[in-house]
Structure 1
Amino acid sequence: MRVPYSWIKEFIDIDIPAEEVVERLNTTGIEAVCETFGEYIEGIVTVKILSVKKHPERDKLLVCEATDGHKVYQVVTGADNVKEGSTVILAKEGSVIKGIKITKRNFGSIQSEGMFLSLEELGISEKSEGVLILPDDIKPGEDPNRILGLGDEKIIEIEITPNRGDALSVRGLAREIGAIFGIKRKEVFPVISIAEEIIPEIFVNSERCTRYRGIIIKDVNIRPSPFHIQLKLIKSGMNPINNVVDITNYILLQEGQPLHAFDLDKIEGAVYVRNAREGEKIVTLDGEEKQLKETDLVIADDKKVIAIAGVIGGDNTKVDSNTKNILLEAAVFDSISVRKTAKRLAVSTDSSYRFERGVDIQNLPNAQDKAVELILKTAGGKAVGEKDIYPDPYRPEKIKLREKTVERILGVSIPKEECSDLLNRLEIPTEIEEDGTVSQIPSFRAFDLKREIDLVEEVGRLKGFDTFGEKYPRVSVESFRKSDEYLFELRTRDFLKDNGLDEVVTYTFVGEEIFNILGIPVPVIRIENYLLKTQSVMRDNLAVSLIGVFQENLRHQIKDLSVFEISSAFFEEYEEIRVGLLLSGRYIKGFNFTRDDQRFSTTDKWNFLKVKGLINSYLRSIGLKDVRYIPSDLPYLNPYESADIYINDQYVGYIGKIHPEKADRLEIPKETYIAELKLRYVPRDINDSSLKEGYLFTLYKNAEIPVFRELPKYPSVKRDLAFEVAENLQIDKLINVLNRSSELIDKVELFDIYYISSDRKSVALSVEFRAEDRSLSDEEVNKEVELVIQKMKEEIPDLKLRQ
């Protein structure tokens, strides 16, 4: 919000330079800057237009004669709002406007001796229509720089934290400045009378509207607003429209209360504050059609929606030059409701900005009455009806502030008398009690002053945090127990870092295109108000983000990448914490050495077995066994170098090489490996603390405690067995059947696969037999082998032992 310093001075008697005011505002918690309004322009003067004629050769141009009281100028202009008798600003020959020097110029056969100026050409508005028309009481020959304050008027612009909606007005800012410098704020109350000729038919059918006050004003005359109001709006960054609309904006800036004026004759029947009906539409004041949802709060009449509550009005009831009767609305709407609707519709207005941060419900009638008073003065008419719906009046909360709390938090002792004075300066009614103070929280601070600590902050910031001496904070020596979930993720993170991987952090929202390229469904959780198309959905896997990281690294010529991320994947009813890995190129940066036939290298390339070994090592490090790898059918993985990972017959993740076709489309190397493991389940219900199956954390928590096993006392007996099996038989199934067929089998290792034909293969395994209580004889082992083969044939009927 930006306001002229002179406007603030109307509420407090202050002679302190604006720069010093801004400096103090920054030290007390409101970010502020001071800037000068416009720039001084040489060679401009006020002139009165003596005559206006059409250009004889150019249809869209006018030829005007204007005087500054000493000289008559002939000016050609394209502005259609100039009239005989109007007072405007003339840039004379030699003046510089927006970097262009004004000279005499011929338009056809007519010479122009200057240029009439608009707000845009004066450099004080980004956009304007027509030249600036000055009040009739301004005489020709005066300096427009002085009249407008160009290069002289100080503008204070503030940025607030979301809890300080009370400062979003001239009134509120004056209150804050007055409290800082110990100056009492002035208050002026309107004097109006409302004839109860008509009682507006207004019905509030939603709890999200806590107060609604409507006033009918009849027989208004729509015209430009007084110049002093226009000038304040211009200096605050708003363009004047007409007297009624300008006054609603004027009061919004001055009082912080959004208002809206409806053309009463365009309203059909009664006025309702209600939830929108699903699919209802409205064309808003900005000319855009908006489709509404049931969650949106609207203002409607018997037949149509006429405004989106707290956000923007409808084009169907706007005030224009033909308006004669108006309904002036002042209301307080639920801040969360307004914020959600404004975000969903991508509409941000001065009204929604204030409703989102809280509006003073008690100041509503005062602000609206000031608007009525101004409308009656500038537009004429008569206030003939008023209705105020306020079912639950504001009741101030009481908060006690203890001296010992102030000292404990701020580190300095501030007497309760000084605390009371500081809070009362902020217009927070405060009384002194035995051990501190008691404050009644006014409605304009009801949104952020809830607890004793909030009052400590108010006392501290107003006294000045920069005035407190240095003091070491007290640190508790009580130990804090970290959660098992945190420690498990830390253990995972440390393992991967120790193995040379770098951690990355990515956005959890991504675009749809990557899912289409990978050939997997687009997630169902979408972001309604996404800022970028590449951030429109919540991801349900980490691979899509890690691929994006790789693509960005490739743009910087980084081809060797070993990264991981521990983060969330999102689903409709729950979330998952996963760890994702992307590995490509070489790992372990070092050097190569070659001398004759001597070769040495400290780098190596990632391949499927190395990635699998990394995963296996991690799983063993957290005490998990019985890991099985089954061919994966994920469409973005190479079917010959990929696998789904199972532990205790529970799916926990996958590992694989990127599919070559996907690699080409993604423009990444074909030798890229991706792995993803499900670490833990995160329910949406915070009260759900159960451990879900299929997650490494659950398996880790339920894993058997390792038991020490003595080293073998007796030697093993080794046999090499070659089995002829079907080509499609998975090797891990063969090994599992072999392991289950005898209690004497201690170790099984695969050492050869040989394809006999297109549908048969030979699998050679090295099997070690060992007994814990004796040495095994050859005869005993031979008999055990016969039993093993017999049991295996029962489970794998077409199995044959090759001799």
Structure 2
Amino acid sequence: MRVPYSWIKEFVDIDISAEKIAEKLNETGIETTVEKFGRKIERITVVRILSVKKHPERDKLLVCEATDGQNKYQIITAAQNVFEGAKVILAKEGAQIGDIHIKPVKFGSLVSEGMLLSLEELGVAEKAEGVFILPKNTKEGEDPNKILGLGEDDIFEIEITPNRGDALSVRGLAREIGAIFGIKRKEKFPVVSIAQEEVPEIKFLSDKVFRYRAVVIKGVKIAPSPFEIQLKLIKSGQTPINNVVDITNYILIQEGQPLHAFDLKKIEGDIVVRNAYEGEKIVTLDGEERVLTSEDLVIADSKKAIAIAGVIGGENTKVDENTTDILLEAAVFDNISIRKTSKRLSISTESSYRFERGVDIENLPNAQDKAVELIIKTAGGEAFGEKDVYPQPYKPREIKLREKTTKRVLGFEIPKEKAKELLERLEIPTDLTEDGTISKIPAFRAFDLEREIDLVEEVGRLEGLNIVEETFPKISVQSFRKSDEFLFELRTREFLKDNGFDEVVSYTFVDEDIYNILEIPVPTIRIKNYLLKTQSIMRDNLAVSLIKTLKHNLRFQNTDLKIFEISSVFFENHEEIRAGLLATGKLIKGFSFTKGDQKYSTLEKWDFLKFKGVIESYLKSLGLFNVDLTPSNRPYLNPYESAELFIDGMNIGYIGKIHPKKADTLEIPKDVYIGELKLRYVPRELSDKAEEKEGYIFNIYKKRAVPKFKELPKFPAVKRDFAFEVDESLQVDKLLRAIRESSEYVEKVELFDIYYINENRKSIAVSVDFRAEDRSLSDEEVNKLTEDLLENLRKRFEGIKLRNQEG
């Protein structure tokens, strides 16, 4: 919030430098900076527009003749709000406006001898449409620097914590400054007479509205507001619009009470405060159509919604140049409801900002009456009636503050008499008790002061926390125990780093396009108020993020990549911590050597087996050996070089090579290998037990059998080689597993050859070691084990036979 120091002085008699006040506000908990309002600009003056004509050669330009009382100037401008007789600010030749050095400029055949200035060009507004129009009584030739106070008035920039909504106004800031320096704040009371005529009925159909007061003013004339009001708004970072709207903004800044003016003639029937209908639409004052949900609160008449309560008004009842009768609204709404609506719709207004942080419900009629007084004074008209619906009037909370609590928390003593004085300086009514004080919390601090410790903070910050004596802290000698989950993720991270992978960290939100390219379902969890379309969806896998990281690296010609990420993916009812890996290009950046017939190379590239080896090595490092692989049907993976990973029948992840068609679409290399491992389950409900979930490596790791030492073998193994002829569709892994499980004497099974006999049959050659722990196996025993093995395999796999042997 921006507030000019001169405005604060209207509420508290103070003659202390702005820098000193900012220093004290920072010390007492309100982050404050101070700066000058704009800067003085040389060679600018006030001119009167003598005539306005269209440029004969440029359709969008106007040719203005202007005078500063002594000289005449021909000015060419694109501003459409200039008119004959208008008093405006002219930058003459030699002036420096931002990066523009003013000099005569030709537009077609005509020369412009200066530049008419807007608030934006003066450097006091972020955006402004048209030149700034000064009051009619401004004298030609006057210095605009003095009129506007450029480079003179001090402006406070206030940043508050969410609990200090009471400081979001000139009145509240004056109260705070007065309390700090021990100066009583001045109060201004409105003088307004309101006739008791009929006003629209006000109905509450929601429990999210606590007070609603409406005042009808008839016979107003919409025009620019007085220059004094405009200038205060400009210094506060607001853009003047018209007298009625400006006054609502003026009171909002001065009193902290949001107001809204409706065109009374556009309201049909009663005023109804209700929840929006699901899917209800309203075009708001910014010209955007908003789609509402049943959680949003609206102001409606008998036929339609006319405002999003506490956030923004509707286009259908806005005050414009034809308005003569208005209904002025002042209300207090549920702060949580307003915050949710504001965030969901991505609308942050001065009103919503204050409602979210709490508005003084007791000051509402006082603030509104000040607005009524100003509207009648500046726009004419008469107040014809008012209606105030206040179902549950505010009852002050009583909080006791004990001297011993203050001493224990702050480390220094504040007598109860001093505590009473400090609290009353903050306008908190306080009485003395036997062991301390008891305070009745006023409505403007109802959102902040709830417990005794809150009052300790108030007296402590006003007394000055810089007087706290230095003491040595107590340090526990008990070491901090890191959680099993943390240590498990650390172990995973260290393994991958030790194997040459670089860790990356990416956003957990992505865009829909990558899902469509990979042909996988788009997640249902979306960000309602996303800032970028490319960050609108909460991801449900790490592959999408790893591929985006790869594409980013490729733009910098980094084609050899080994990366991993350990992070969250999101689902409707839970989250998962996963480890995602991606590798492409060279595994080892070697070199080639050629000398006659001697050739060798130390360069190695990634392939499926090397990538699979990293995953299997990681699982083995955890003591997980019984890993099964089955073909993967993920649409973005090559079906011949991909696999789903299983442990005890539970899917723990996948590995594979990116499908060549997807690689072409994504414009990435064809040798990209990617994988994901499901590390941990993260519940959203306390009743949802993470340790009971299956298919997560952390849970399997915790339940794994403790490794036991096995005595080294005393007797030799007997090796037999087999070449099996099988159907092309038989998975090699199933055959190897069947051989291992065929007998207790099978110690080791190794694959050493696969080749295709024809399109339907293939040969799988394996080496099998047989060993007994208590004796050397005889040839007869091994032959019998071999026969049993073959018989077992014939029963399990149809059509299997040894090579050169009939089945």
CA distance change for structure 1 residues 584 and 241 in 2, over 3 Å: closer, same or farther?
same
Match of 1:222 in 2: 222
Task: Tell me the equivalent position of 1:775.
Answer: 776
Counterpart residue number, 1:712: 713
**SS state of the match for residue 517, structure 2?**
helix
For structure 2, which runs of at least 5 residues remain unmatched after alignment?
none
Report how far residue 414 of structure 1 moved: 5.2
Report SS of the residue matched to 1:708: coil
Contact 2:261–2:328, Cα closer than 8 Å, also in 1 = yes
Contact map agreement 1:92 1:115 (CA 8 A) in 2: yes
The residue type paired with residue 124 of structure 1 is: V
Please list, as runs of the form range in 1=range in 2, the aligned pairs for 1:429-468 lying within 5 A after superposition.
429-431=429-431, 433=433, 437-465=437-465, 468=468
1:2 touches 1:237 (CA, 8 Å); kept in 2?
A: yes
1:395-425 per-residue CA deviation (whole Å, 9 max, x = no partner) reads 3334455556556655555555555544443
- What CA deviation, in whole Å up to 9, does each residue of 1:186-211 have, x standing for no partner? 22222323222214311111112222
Q: Is the 8 A contact 2:248 2:259 kept in 1?
A: yes
SS at match of 1:613: helix
CA contact (8 A) 1:753 1:763 kept: yes
2:116 touches 2:131 (CA, 8 Å); kept in 1? no
Question: Which residue is 1:665 aligned to?
Answer: 665
In the other structure, the counterpart of 1:618 is: 618
1:648 corresponds to which residue? Answer: 648
Counterpart in the other structure of 1:585:
585
| 1:157 has 2:195 as partner | no
Distance 1:27 1:758, change over 3 A: same
State whether structure 2 residue 692 is matched by structure 1 residue 699: no
> Matched residues in 1 for 2:612 and 2:668: separation?
21
Match of 1:246 in 2: 246
Does residue 524 (structure 1) correspond to residue 524 (structure 2)? The answer is yes
Q: Which residue in the other structure is 1:500 paired with? A: 500
Deviation string 1:450-498 (CA, Å, 9 cap, x unpaired) is 4444444444544455554554433334455544333332332233233
Alignment of 1:22-421 (within 5 A): 22-45=22-45, 68=69, 71=70, 73=72, 99-101=100-102, 118-120=118-120, 122-125=122-125, 126-129=127-130, 131-134=132-135, 136=137, 142-401=142-401, 418-421=418-421
User: Partners in 1 of 2:438 and 2:297 — Cα distance?
Assistant: 37
Contact map agreement 1:569 1:577 (CA 8 A) in 2: yes
Q: 1:400 to 1:303 in 2, by over 3 A?
A: same
Q: In the superposition, relative to structure 1, how do residues 598 and 177 fare at CA in structure 2: closer, same or farther (>3 Å)?
A: farther
- The unaligned stretches of length 5 or more in structure 1 are none
Between stretches 244-253 and 681-690, larger displacement belongs to 681-690
User: Aligned pair in 2 of structure 1 residues 700, 392: CA closer, same or farther (>3 Å)?
Assistant: farther
Instruction: Provide closer, same or farther for how the CA distance between residues 369 and 595 of structure 1 changes in structure 2, counting only shifts above 3 A.
Output: same
Residue type matched to 1:195 in 2? A
Q: Deviations over 1:579-609 (max 9, x none)?
A: 11112334578x8798989999998543322
Q: Which amino acid aligns with 1:386?
A: E
Pair 1:668–1:46, CA change in 2 (3 A): closer
730 and 417 in structure 1: CA distance in 2 versus 1, 3 angstrom threshold: farther
Q: What's the offset of the Cα at 1:751?
A: 1.9
Q: CA 1:46–1:747 in structure 2 vs 1: closer, same or farther (change >3 Å)? A: closer
Aligned-partner residue type, residue 390 of structure 1: Y
Instruction: Check the 8 A contact 2:88/2:131 in 1, yes or no.
Output: no
8 A Cα contact 2:520 2:635, kept in partner = yes
Q: CA deviation at 1:551?
A: 2.1
The alignment partner of 1:197 has SS state of: coil
Q: CA deviation at 1:272?
A: 0.8
From the superposition, tell whether residues 558 and 405 of structure 1 become closer, same or farther in structure 2 (CA, over 3 Å): farther
Mapped partners of 2:625, 2:557: distance in 1:
40
Amino acid at match of 1:625: F
1:549 aligned partner: 549
Q: Which moved more, 1:400-409 or 1:716-725?
A: 400-409
Aligned-residue offset at 1:124: 3.4
Question: Which amino acid in 1 is paired with 2:242?
Answer: N
Q: Distance in 2 between matches of 1:712 and 1:398?
A: 82
d(CA) in 1 for partners of 2:598 and 2:260? 86
Rounded to whole Å, the distance in 2 between the matches of 1:541 and 1:80 is 54
DSSP 3-state at the match of 2:567? strand
* Equivalent residues of 1:579, 1:679 under 8 A apart: yes
Q: 1:46 to 1:546 in 2, by over 3 A?
A: closer
- Residue type matched to 2:747 in 1? D
Instruction: Return 538-547 or 330-339, whichever deviates more.
Output: 330-339
Secondary structure of the equivalent of 2:500? coil
Q: Secondary structure at the match of 1:211?
A: strand
Relative distance call for 1:559 and 1:74 in structure 2 (3 A) is closer
Rounded to whole Å, the distance in 1 between the matches of 2:56 and 2:727 is 97
Contact 1:76–1:107 (Cα < 8 Å) also in 2: no
Cα distance change on mapping 1:350 and 1:652 into 2, 3 Å = same
Q: Give 1:735 deviation, angstroms.
A: 1.7
Equivalent residue letter for 2:629 = Y
1:794 aligns with 2:795: yes
SS in 1 for 2:277: coil
Q: Secondary structure, in 3 states, of the residue corresponding to 1:517?
A: helix
Amino acid at match of 1:342: S
- The Cα of 1:63 is off from its aligned counterpart by 6.8
SS of residue matched to 2:375: helix
Secondary structure of 2:724's match?
strand
AA aligned opposite 1:154? D
Distance 2:302 2:564 in 1: 59
- SS in structure 2 opposite 1:629? strand
Closer/same/farther in 2, CA of residues 343 and 372 from structure 1, 3 Å limit:
same
Distance 1:629 1:174 in 2: 72
Which whole-Å CA distance do the structure 1 matches of 2:789 and 2:754 have between them? 20
Tell me, in whole angstroms, the C-alpha distance in 1 between the residues paired with 2:614 and 2:397.
Answer: 60
Name the Cα RMSD after superposition: 3.5
Counterpart secondary structure, 2:548 = helix
Q: Distance in 1 between matches of 2:369 and 2:221?
A: 19
Contact 1:500/1:588 (<8 A) preserved? no
Question: Deviation per CA, 1:288-328, whole angstroms, max 9, x where unpaired?
Answer: 22233322211111122211111111122112222222111
**CA distance 1:489–1:441, shift in 2 (3 Å):** farther
**In structure 1, distance between residues paired with 2:117 and 2:233:** 18
Deviation at 1:696, TM superposition (A): 1.5
User: Residue type of the partner of 2:4?
Assistant: P
CA distance in 2, matches of 1:363, 1:76: 49
Partner deviation per Cα, 1:370-405 (whole Å, 9 max, x = no partner): 111212222232222222222233333344555565
Specify the SS of the correspondent of 1:377: helix
Give yes or no for contact 2:94–2:101 (8 Å, CA) kept in 1.
no
- Within 5 A, what are the aligned runs for 1:746-765? 746-765=747-766
Give the Cα separation in 2 of the matches to 1:12 and 1:515.
60
> Match for 1:629: what amino acid?
L
Tell me the SS of whatever aligns to 1:213.
strand
Structure 2: distance between partners of 1:643 and 1:439: 70
In the alignment, residue 357 of structure 1 is paired with which amino acid?
Answer: R
Are residues 107 and 796 of structure 1, via their aligned partners in 2, closer, same or farther at CA, if it must alter by over 3 Å? closer
Shift of 1:769: 2.0
Change (3 A) 1:619 1:435: farther
Q: Which amino acid aligns with 1:224?
A: P
Q: TM-score, normalised by structure 2?
A: 0.89
Structure 1 distance, partners of 2:756, 2:604, is 30
Query: 1:779 corresponds to which letter in structure 2?
Result: E
How much has 1:508 moved relative to structure 2? Answer: 0.7
Distance between the aligned counterparts of 1:604 and 1:152, measured in 2?
70
1:291 and 1:464 map into 2 onto residues whose CA distance is 49
Residue 433 (structure 1) shift: 5.0
Give the residue type in structure 2 aligned to 1:724: E
Whole-Å separation in 1 of the counterparts to 2:786 and 2:113: 114
Once the two structures are overlaid, the 10-residue window that deviates more, 370-379 or 420-429, is 420-429
- Which residue pairs with 1:766 in the alignment? 767
Amino acid of the structure 1 residue aligned with 2:338: V
The answer to whether the 8 Å contact 2:86/2:133 transfers is no
Kindly indicate whether the alpha-carbon contact (under 8 Å) linking 2:724 and 2:803 is maintained by their aligned counterparts in 1: yes
What secondary structure, in the 3-state scheme, does the structure 2 residue paired with 1:172 have? helix
Q: Once the 2 structures are TM-superposed, how far is the Cα of residue 176 of structure 1 from its aligned partner?
A: 2.4
